[in-house]
Chain A
Amino acid sequence: MTATGIVGIALLLLVSLVVRVVPTMLGMARRLDPQSGALATLPHVVLVNLVAVCVLAELQTDFWPAAAGFGVAGGVLWRWPACNLLVAVGLAAGVYLAVSGCR
């Protein structure tokens, strides 16, 4: 195995744990009523996501696969207001990239 492969596996496994496994196993959905006002925050979540993706797409010349992924996400109903926090992390990453000039 190569170092690039090992690091990539570790990062992507961590991502999968954070975005799929941990939220599911913590039972977050049971403690949050998806039918309540959470749905009203959906447009904001999607909008902030779009901003994050736009920033990333602008910085990463060939970042269209991520944009396509978010296109699929656009069809997903986000009913969990705490997602705003996670999206803010993504936005912060985009701002950091913009400020640092990383490309």
Chain B
Amino acid sequence: MTATSRDDTRDGSAPAACPVTPGLSQCLSVVLPLVPIGLAFGWLAAGQGLHTLDVVLMSALGFTGSGQFAWLQLSAQQTPLFVALAILLATNLRYVPMALTARLSPASPWLGRVLGAHLLSDESYALEQGRPDDRTRFWLRAVVAATWVLATGAGTLLLGGADVNNPMLQRTASFAGSCVLVLLASGRLRCSFGPGLLGWGLIARTGAVAVAVILLCGCRWFWVPSLAIGFGWHRFATGRRAS
């Protein structure tokens, strides 16, 4: 299946492939914000006594981003292994459909398909849209993964002695993470609705809505309304298509 089948449009019809061509600048815009997040993970891991080798191998073999952060917290709380595994699985279930819809061609080498599946990430999944070439997609995944591994390893070396309660470092990591999500979301909108949609007016209105939702729902649950609306909209679109 190519990226065409995992896109969607306003009316729910089969969309055209994203016209955005693969480019270094687009790749960098997603990969570079990963660096401070990776540094933060290394810094937090070092704060819990993990060595650089632990962190590098965890990032390479257990390449899950949020799952790694979750593991740090779960291990600090001495959560039972079964419970920890269940939580890590639950928070990474999204990779199942992502892996299925973005799998490399069966004609690719076996090892390449295994590695390609393991290296799949949210960032590479978004970058791959409209790129049916297996080689390009594999290297996009590898670049994202290598950046993550190097950044987390560097975090233990450069920030290993830093105070884990340093608010400036915490804000730096969370800001970069939010930037990645905004970039991915805006890229998705541009693919679906065209480049003319994302004007300053829309950004200002969206910002105002976001602030209102945060004030209304609080910092922990502000994301629920957007997903609920997305859920309802998708249900409406699929219902209309079925009828």
A contact set with B: CB distance below 8 Å: 1-2, 4-9, 11-21, 23-25, 27-30, 34-35, 39-40, 42-43, 46-47, 49-50, 52-54, 56-57, 60, 62-80, 83, 86-87, 89-94, 96-97, 102-103
Residue total for B at the interface (Cβ-Cβ under 8 A) = 77
**In B94-112, which residues have CB < 8 Å from any A CB?**
94-101, 103, 106
* Cα-based distance from A18 to B129 in the complex (angstroms): 24
Query: Can you give 5 contacting A-B residue pairs, CB < 8 Å?
Result: A8-B75, A15-B85, A16-B92, A23-B96, A70-B91
Residues of A within 8 A of B70 (CB): 60, 63, 65-66
Contact of B117 among A24, A79, A96 (CB under 8 A): A24
A contact residues around B230 at 8 Å (CB) = 46, 74-75
B 52-79 to A, binary, CB cutoff 8 A, 1 in contact else 0: 0111011001111111111111010101
Contact B50 A5 (CB under 8 A): yes
Is the beta-carbon distance between A77 and B8 smaller than 8 angstroms?
yes
B197 part of interface (Cβ distance < 8 Å):
no
Q: Which of these, A50, A52, A65, contacts B66 with CB under 8 Å?
A: A65
Q: Is B231 a contact of A46 with CB atoms below 8 Å?
A: yes
Question: Binding site of A, secondary structure by majority: helix, strand, loop or mixed?
Answer: helix
A25 lies within 8 A of B117 (CB) = yes
Q: For the complex formed, measure the closest distance between the CB of B5 and the CB atoms of chain A, giving whole angstroms.
A: 7
Residue of A nearest to B93 (CB): A86
B223 at the interface (CB under 8 A from A): yes
B158 CB–A CB distance under 8 Å: no
Q: A5-B54, A53-B90, A87-B93 are in contact. List 19 more A-B contacts (CB 8 A).
A: A1-B54, A4-B54, A5-B53, A5-B58, A8-B71, A8-B75, A12-B62, A12-B64, A19-B96, A20-B99, A20-B117, A21-B99, A21-B118, A34-B5, A42-B238, A71-B181, A76-B94, A86-B96, A89-B86
